[in-house]
Structure 1
Amino acid sequence: MEIRKLNTLRGLAALIVFVTHFSDITNWLDGVLGGGSGAYGVMLFFLLSGFLMAYLYLDRDFTQANIQDYFLARACRVLPLYLAVVFGSYFLSSTGKNTLYTISDLHTLLGHLLFLYGESVLWSISPEIQFYFMFILFWMCAKNRKGYIYLLIFAVMILLFLFNFPRIYGDINGVPYNAFNVLRSLPYFFVGVIFGMHYRRLKIPEYLKKHWFILALCLIPLMYPDLTTITSDAKRRMWLSYEVLLVMSTVFFCVVFLVPNNNVLLANKFGDFFGKISYSFYLLHMPIIVQVNKLDFSVELKLLASLSMSILVAYISFRYFEKPIAKLIRGSKTSQLNTEKVTNCTSQ
């Protein structure tokens, strides 16, 4: 069963990141929507990822065929565009043209290819990929040892809190790595997993499901460093604050569990469209903003141009690159399985 609301939520997460980067680069509205606030969009991405992994896979049997399908689906979605951007950035950087991202040497390239390090928005792909492998442990426990999932999540989150999210980063023989990015992201994946485990089983009374719960999304801008009423340094810790985790989890819970599935603001064709292109929009918007900012336009025209071009490029990428590549990979897998079936039938 498709949860259409998640498409719009994914698109909203990408848009939060876009607005933050545009604000930082152009100083739009004196930068009040910047200051690292794009982190809240990435947090939504990680919550969504954990939720969908649990929702789609934990009820399936833990078999070799299902595990292969799982990794194939994840690889088809994430890797083609990521690898294209990484290699494109490397070749452009080696010629002195940093029109994508700065990956200027072989060691940095290896850090990206091994999912140990990431420049600019590419940093978030490493935690995503590493979580895919961690999720296998949850899946293995899901059928007969589901309680271990809660125990593991609780233990890791307590350890992260007690050790204040250790700053583990550096290089190995020149290849950079940043484990801190993974550690600070884990709580969001974990909360998403817990929500995904209970989505089908948790029976929310109909009288609690109200369209106005969509207003919970307004809590996100209230946490922006330049807008929040919080006076402690927690407002700038973001990833390291369990208070922020609580608020973001509350927002996610309200939208996914309490807002009716037919909410016109969340379940609509534009949301479906933006959700589909959100990944390419996320990966490609930053270079576009940088290039548009060089033009002698007003900041409002720069915003319109950056947003329009980012959507257009993201659509072209999704429609003519990501989707065909995923179809080709899945088609090869299907053909291989059919061949194996024919071979087995023949041998019998």
Structure 2
Amino acid sequence: MSTADHITAPAKLAQRREAGRESSIRAGTQSGERLDGLTGLRGFAVLVVFLSHSANAGLLPSYFGMGVGQLGVMLFFILSGFLMSMLYLGQAPRPQVVRRYVAARLGRVLPLFYLIVALSLIATAAGLPWPYPMPDVGAVLMHLFLISGTRELWAVPVEIQFYVIFVGIWWLCHRQGGFSHRALWLCLAVLGLLFAAQVLAFHLHKMNFVTVFYYTAFFLTGTLIALYRARIMSLHARLADWAPMVLSLIALAAFVAVNPNFRAGTALGVPIWADPLIWAAMVLVFLSAMTGSGIFRLLGTPLLMFWGEISYGFYLIHPILLHFAEPLAGDLGPQMRVALVAVLCAATSALAWLSLTLFERPALKRAKEWA
């Protein structure tokens, strides 16, 4: 064998390994299959948020409130990171692909968000009771430029800001042609450091506001699960028959156990968004939903699937109805308050379905046509 052969053989071996890795990434990230369990998980997450806010309004026991809704938002963020990575990260970020990504993401999120902002501006100017106040030009600009949001609107700018970060990760992972695991892990390391710095700076009172980096742990968790989904599903398929049910019960118990109310009055003092136990519980719930383990098969039922489909509109609309119902809480008995919550849930579902059918889907279709 010549010297040239000695030199090129390892290089060819490395190329074959990298090609194998890239095909694995594509298999894990470009699946077109419908993930009913994750659609149902989105429905479950928005119900958690709704019940938490109903408790905060005095319509349900306080156990369901005081931060529980943030667990639902965590699941939303994991879902976002997962779906973006599964759909796009295995493709090279060519201009046309990036345009489709931008159109799909912004076309799905921004139209209803800006409609709510416009209605909020009108309601505030008219002096009407409204959950999303827009008291001055500064508040309006913060929403229009997606810097921050009031009350439940806060999650939308965070989501959009991560969409921008994702494009950077996407480009770096493909900068040298094929997909680079090394570049991905470098991105994760840098973002992990920024996450830690943001958490420490805010909770040590060095900053009086948080940025998107405060929440990146959950988006990036979704990214990692998407990349290794094929391995996870293969491992799940090899489990003993009884194991998925046991794991699903552990995941459900973990979700209940990390209720932030359990920690109230203790000396732990760990911020909810930086709590490793809460993070682990959300990962268990997500993996159980993705694999359809045990009781998490119920996420594929029609009602939860329906709530999953309308979850975005439900999330933005429900505070409006709750805002008008909250004054009634003190005049109603426990059973009537629960009945009112059921009515509010049904009314919000109807409005969210109308929003999805008549406004959100047509807006998304037009955005995709632009791309």
Tell me which amino acid in the other structure corresponds to 2:180. Answer: R
Distance 1:15 1:178, change over 3 A: farther
1:79, distance to aligned residue in structure 2 (A): 0.7
Higher mean C-alpha displacement, 62-71 vs 244-253: 244-253
Q: 1:64 aligns with which of 95, 99, 105?
A: 95
Structure 2: stretches of 5+ with no match in the other structure: 1-32
In the alignment, the residues of structure 1 paired with residue 236 and residue 38 of structure 2 have an alpha-carbon distance, to the nearest angstrom, of 21
1:161, distance to aligned residue in structure 2 (A): 2.5
Distance 1:178 1:50, change over 3 A: farther
Contact 2:288 2:296 in 1 (8 A): no
Contact 2:194 2:213 in 1 (8 A): no
Distance 1:83 1:151, change over 3 A: same
Aligned length: 322
Tell me which amino acid in the other structure corresponds to 2:315. Answer: Y
Distance 1:165 1:309, change over 3 A: farther
Distance 1:182 1:61, change over 3 A: same
1:278, distance to aligned residue in structure 2 (A): 0.3
Contact 1:213 1:254 in 2 (8 A): yes
Q: Does the alignment pair 1:266 with 2:304?
A: no
Higher mean C-alpha displacement, 319-328 vs 17-26: 319-328
Q: Could you list the per-position Cα deviations for residues 274-327 of structure 1 after superposition, in whole angstroms to 9, with x for gaps in the alignment?
A: 111000000110111121233454312221121111111111111111112222
In the alignment, the residues of structure 1 paired with residue 324 and residue 236 of structure 2 have an alpha-carbon distance, to the nearest angstrom, of 50
Higher mean C-alpha displacement, 142-151 vs 282-291: 142-151
Distance 1:88 1:162, change over 3 A: closer
Distance 1:332 1:156, change over 3 A: closer
In the alignment, the residues of structure 1 paired with residue 43 and residue 277 of structure 2 have an alpha-carbon distance, to the nearest angstrom, of 24
Aligned to 1:339: none
Q: Does the alignment pair 1:115 with 2:146?
A: yes
In the alignment, the residues of structure 2 paired with residue 195 and residue 161 of structure 1 have an alpha-carbon distance, to the nearest angstrom, of 21
Q: Does the alignment pair 1:250 with 2:281?
A: no
Tell me which amino acid in the other structure corresponds to 1:61. Answer: A
In the alignment, the residues of structure 2 paired with residue 301 and residue 267 of structure 1 have an alpha-carbon distance, to the nearest angstrom, of 26
Aligned to 1:7: 39
In the alignment, the residues of structure 1 paired with residue 211 and residue 314 of structure 2 have an alpha-carbon distance, to the nearest angstrom, of 21
Q: Secondary structure at the match of 1:166?
A: helix
1:150, distance to aligned residue in structure 2 (A): 1.6
Q: Could you list the per-position Cα deviations for residues 223-250 of structure 1 after superposition, in whole angstroms to 9, with x for gaps in the alignment?
A: 1133469944346x21132332222223
1:179, distance to aligned residue in structure 2 (A): 5.7
Matches within 5 A, 1:304-323: 304-323=342-361
Q: Secondary structure at the match of 2:300?
A: coil
Aligned to 2:10: none
Contact 2:195 2:216 in 1 (8 A): no
In the alignment, the residues of structure 2 paired with residue 101 and residue 184 of structure 1 have an alpha-carbon distance, to the nearest angstrom, of 23
Q: 1:191 aligns with which of 201, 205, 221?
A: 221
Higher mean C-alpha displacement, 264-273 vs 88-97: 264-273
Matches within 5 A, 1:296-307: 297=332, 298-307=336-345
What TM-score do you get using the length of structure 1 for normalisation? 0.85
Task: Please identify the structure whose Cα radius of gyration is greater.
Answer: 2
1:263, distance to aligned residue in structure 2 (A): 6.2
Contact 1:88 1:100 in 2 (8 A): no
Aligned to 2:106: 75
1:187, distance to aligned residue in structure 2 (A): 0.6
Higher relative contact order (Cα pairs below 8 Å, separated by 6+ residues)? 2
Relative to total residues, which structure has the larger helix share, 1 or 2?
2
